[in-house]
């Protein structure tokens, strides 16, 4: 990673914690920050856009991508596959873009095996009741699905300790500020600044 000043961030959270909304605002407000668009076999929802929310593919296509080792990480969730394209992430990093991966803790573990310097962030809701209310408020899932997602959310939240940073999404603006602060703080690390401003530093420190 030393030859590339761009940074990879992992953002994990249970369903209903507000992860996607926070990430979207962060990439809108910070320059040179993008989110990796995952591939999925899940059916496309009415409000979703191909190539923006997900790359929607059939199971055969996804399996072929697994067999040809095209994923940085992948998993099967609620009967559907989700995965992050390795080439897409590498292209963004090579272009100097910081990249956010919205994945669960198991996906994060897969990524850490390939990128040791990845930074992980976990987002939690302020209470379990708030989480359930947010899941119900979506208006797109059945009672059975909400109950299943709540059970899975509890299991997911138990993994918060694996992350480097923990954000409680009670007040959205405060949580957004904290998320952006993590990104910004890593942008001014000495190693990154020395790489990014090598010419300036040389001119300032050499006769």
What Rg, from alpha-carbon coordinates, does the chain have?
18
Cα separation, 201 vs 193, in Å, equals 9
By residue range, what is the domain housing residue 147?
8-205
- When pLDDT is cut at 50, 70 and 90, the band that residue 144 belongs to is confident
The per-residue pLDDT for range 72-97, each reduced to its tens digit, is 999 998 799 999 999 999 999 999 99
Q: CA-CA-CA-CA torsion for 184, 185, 187, 189, nearest 10 degrees?
A: 170
Instruction: Flag whether 113 is in a domain.
Output: yes
Q: What is the mean pLDDT of residues 28-32?
A: 97
Q: What is the pLDDT of residue 1?
A: 38
Half-sphere exposure of 178 (CA within 13 A, CB side): 17
Give the chain's domain count: 1
Instruction: Flag whether 192 is in a domain.
Output: yes
What is the pTM for the complete model shown?
0.86
Instruction: Flag whether 182 is in a domain.
Output: yes
Instruction: Flag whether 196 is in a domain.
Output: yes
CATH code assigned at 109: 3.40.50.300
Instruction: Flag whether 154 is in a domain.
Output: yes
Write out the H or E segment, with its range, that includes residue 87. helix 86-94
Instruction: Flag whether 1 is in a domain.
Output: no
Instruction: Flag whether 65 is in a domain.
Output: yes
Residue 3 has pLDDT above 60, yes or no: no
Cα separation, 60 vs 78, in Å, equals 17
């Amino acid at each position: 990673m030393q030859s590339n000043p761009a940074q990879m961030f992992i953002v994990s959270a249970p369903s209903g914690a507000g992860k996607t909304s926070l990430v979207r605002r962060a990439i809108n407000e910070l320059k040179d920050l993008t989110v990796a668009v995952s591939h999925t076999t899940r059916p496309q929802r009415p409000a979703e856009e191909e190539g923006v929310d997900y790359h929607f593919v059939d199971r055969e296509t996804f399996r072929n991508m697994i067999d040809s080792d095209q994923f940085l990480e992948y998993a099967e969730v609620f009967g559907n596959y989700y995965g992050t394209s390795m080439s897409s992430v590498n292209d963004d990093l090579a272009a100097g873009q910081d990249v956010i991966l919205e994945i669960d803790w198991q996906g994060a573990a897969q990524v850490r095996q390939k990128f040791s310097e990845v930074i992980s962030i976990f987002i939690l809701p302020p209470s379990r009741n708030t989480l359930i209310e947010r899941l119900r408020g979506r208006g797109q899932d059945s009672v059975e699905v909400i109950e299943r997602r709540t059970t899975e959310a509890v299991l997911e939240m138990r993994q918060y300790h694996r992350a480097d940073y923990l954000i409680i999404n009670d007040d959205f603006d405060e949580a957004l500020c904290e998320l952006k602060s993590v990104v910004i703080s890593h942008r001014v690390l000495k190693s990154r600044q020395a790489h990014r401003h090598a010419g300036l530093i040389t001119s300032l420190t050499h006769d």
